[in-house]
Structure 1
Amino acid sequence: MTTQTAIAPNDQGQPTAGPGNAVEARGIVKHFGSTKALDGVDLTVRQGTVLGVLGPNGAGKTTLIRVLSTLLRPDAGTAFVGGYDVLRQPRELRRTIGLTGQYASVDELLSGSENLYLIGRLLDLSRRDAKARAAELLERFSLTEAAGRPAKTYSGGMRRRLDLAASMIGRPRVLYLDEPTTGLDPRTRNEVWDEVRRMVAEGATVLLTTQYMEEAEQLASDLTVVDRGRVIANGTVDGLKRQVGGQTLQVRPHRPADLPEMVRSLAERGIAAHTGELDDLLAVPLTGEGQLTEVISVLGGRGFGIASVDTVVPSLDEVFLAITGQSATLPQQTQDSEETAR
């Protein structure tokens, strides 16, 4: 997990990740008995960005993280992380990455400070540097007062923060965060988000799996949606919103009683409209450029008074539901079904 910056051909002469990409995976397949957890997954993560990987429970997100961090060997496909081949150069690759799994995995007999110091020394930091880095991260994650206490006395949220700090101590170039804020309170979640942003600003790349749509919107530059072991959608947050539903024009009339006549007036011009969730709003899905102007022109020309006009896009929850056909409100603190299969 120490810093590596070179993206170069590997020692077997195989192609590595393309220029500007920290992670590239092609055709990744993984079976657990009769269960196909990954079914030909392609994934690209640009350097210095956050890729959010979304998907319902059992979609294959955790299995993908385990493959890319060399904890599982894929049955087929290729993957490169930081220029290193997942299959042929696992030792070198591990020194470029950090990993925080779904559950905290700290040594409960050691103190918070000792846990981080140990990780630092294992990463070849000097005694002085390991101690300084541990103190820095304990402060960032509001653990300084508990630094000398055994981790077994920590609350669940404190252990989670300590686990996150441990994954960051070596300043990894690529950081895997597998549902990192599940179960954390809002203040601690914001602290984690701030630290992720700080690392990205310093040049790190983050692959984030999450079931919190707000988290994906806050952190991710790009999104990949996985379901049943396959990638079913890629794009930016705004791009996926446009792909799913585009913009909706919301018009609030001065007189709510005018709404039925406004709908009929627009229908005569071939423009579909309906009353919104609130009785005093007219909703018009925008299907092309210039339609907003046309709607306002039609309504104004018919003498309808307009109190306000606004445009809205689908929420990321709605995008998730539309793409996967499943609710974005999923149980917390659960593992992908491939964990059970294993």
Structure 2
Amino acid sequence: MRKTIPLAAACAAVLSAGMAVAVSAPASAAPAEPTATVTKYGRASLRFSASADTVLGQSMTASKSDYVTWSARQGRTLDSKKVETVADPTGSVIASSSVGTVIDGLNVGRYAGGYGQAAAAGLITHEAGTATTTAAGPVIGFAGAPSYSGYQLSNSGGITITTSVNSAINFKYDVQYLRSEFWKYVLPEAGEKPAFTDSQRSGADFWAYARRGIADAKGTGKNLDDLTVRSRPWGGTSGNFKNMIDYAPVGSANTCGSGASIGFSYGGASISIPTSNCSKVKGITSRSSSLEMGADWDGHTSDQQAVEALSTYRVNEGYTPQFADYIWATFSDWAHSGVTADIKWTDTGW
């Protein structure tokens, strides 16, 4: 049985994501239902390394080191001094981001009943700056980096979320994680004419945006139940967008298999991103904007899971689009009376 419990109004932040909490119990479990809450923290309330105590500071250092190592494996060499690492006020969730990715807020879901463990985590970010110089793309990635023809890679980056050991909140698990990547592409002037009509090209430029989200319980005794990525134009900039041309996935993508990909082709311009596992991946069903895209996975696994999403846009000529990104994951806990609490993120508009 699943019961949905609405949350209080979203806190004021640069972006505001609506949340809802759904609680469920296995058929064999006791009838008592646990509850869960989601707390939203804007950037102003986040903790930085300089304000961290010894235990949290060690966790933040480990998280940063892990992120730098992971980025190197993706072909991105980072200066650890320029990697921003933050934590929520309780020190339960830590996020590290590459240069050029701004962390706007952390959302943390917790089980009630005194456990104190973070059961879910969400992150709102946006790309800093508007430079369009070519950036080096990842060499490898989970399921591989996007492939493209005709387009030019404008920027790419990523972010990671881990959990920390903090005795103040009785946190017991420190190795589950979330990771998010993005790639942004522009179609050069020379590639526009073969791909689009004169009417479509008039006063317009063409861009593509790709996302990947990865989550893993990492043997903590928990299972991943939900993984969602979303992207839309940065707040207040949608007036610079003429329209979204295409987005994927759309609806259910149950036919995806090994070696599959999602993508688009227009004349001599094409772009695609390999899919990692589409068995239960679908396009986001609630889109508060015609310019929003994303992907959602729902299931129950202790293995690593990833989702991918891709969109193409027609924007005002000369404008470099910026996007607000969101990633959310829910982990269920079988360690306490066999009862799980699914903490679900439901978009009601940023």
TM-score (norm. length: structure 1) = 0.29
Rg comparison, structure with higher value: 1
Higher strand share: 2
Q: TM-score, normalised by structure 2?
A: 0.28
Of Structure 1 and Structure 2, the greater helix share is in 1
